[in-house]
């Protein structure tokens, strides 16, 4: 795997415990995001290095840069239809473009627009943004918030091919690490190394509630 790995407990002491943070593995060129699919879709993506075949372009696809949040959602690859876990090396400028065009999936007064204006933005936008409670390796809810981004229309088309650098099958790695969870052996759990991501764009950071 072309992913930097590190023991979970070593990372935990450096991570923020609360607030909105894009926890991810990234550099100047790319960011790694995760998705889970059934075998047919995952194998096609890895073999061809783009999304096609049984992959649906008609429904919104959600990407998650936070490995443990993906593990919470897919049950460490045990949920039906989510057994094939992909690490997607995505162009960082594409990831930023998604967020610049994103509209929050639910309304609140902090958005600075009326509910009617937000509803119009949601209707027009092809990118959704939402913050959910982050979770620890055992699925326990944390104070920190985790981001996920939904793509449709032209954004899902560019994501499926031209925005990609590499698609990796990490299903076996996920199964191996899941055994440590099942055995309550957190000391030996290894996961992708992640750090909070901030952009050199104050307006975008403000929109995303990043600090």
Q: What are the tens digits of pLDDT across the range 79-99?
A: 999 999 999 999 999 999 999
Confidence of residue 183 (pLDDT cuts 50, 70, 90): very high
Residue-level pLDDT at 33: 98
- Top-confidence residue, 112 or 11: 11
Whole-number pLDDT of residue 161: 97
Q: What is the pLDDT of residue 118?
A: 72
What is the model's pLDDT at position 111? 65
Give tens-digit pLDDT for 108-139: 767 677 777 777 677 778 999 999 999 999 99
pLDDT of residue 211: 79
Q: What is the chain's Cα-based Rg? A: 17
Give pLDDT tens digits for 35-70.
999 999 999 999 999 999 999 999 999 999 999 999
What span, in angstroms and rounded, lies between the C-alpha atoms of 65 and 87? 9
Instruction: Answer yes or no: is pLDDT of 106 > 90.
Output: no
**CB proximity list for 111: less than 8 A, separation 6 or greater:** 104, 118
Residues sharing a CB contact under 8 Å with residue 71, sequence separation 6 or more, in sequence order: 77, 137, 174, 178
> What pTM was estimated for this model as a whole?
0.94
Are 67 and 191 in contact by the 8 Å Cβ rule? The answer is yes
């Amino acid at each position: 795997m072309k992913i930097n790995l590190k023991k979970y407990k070593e990372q935990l002491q450096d991570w923020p415990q609360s607030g909105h943070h894009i926890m991810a593995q990234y550099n100047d060129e790319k960011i790694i995001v995760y998705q889970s699919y059934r075998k047919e879709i995952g194998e096609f993506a890895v073999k061809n290095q783009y999304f096609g075949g049984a992959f649906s372009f008609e429904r919104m696809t959600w990407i998650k840069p936070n490995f443990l949040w993906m593990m919470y959602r897919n049950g460490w690859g045990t949920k039906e239809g989510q057994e094939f876990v992909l690490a997607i090396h995505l162009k960082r400028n594409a990831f930023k473009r998604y967020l610049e065009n994103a509209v929050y999936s639910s309304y609140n007064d902090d958005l600075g627009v009326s509910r009617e204006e937000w509803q119009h933005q949601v209707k027009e936008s092809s990118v959704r943004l939402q913050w959910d409670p982050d979770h620890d390796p055992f699925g326990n809810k944390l104070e920190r918030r985790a981001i996920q981004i939904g793509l449709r229309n032209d954004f899902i088309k560019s994501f499926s091919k031209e925005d990609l650098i590499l698609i990796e099958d990490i299903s076996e790695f996920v199964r191996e690490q899941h055994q440590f969870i099942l055995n309550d052996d957190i000391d030996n759990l290894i996961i992708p190394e992640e750090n909070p991501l901030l952009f050199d764009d104050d307006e975008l950071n403000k929109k995303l509630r990043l600090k």
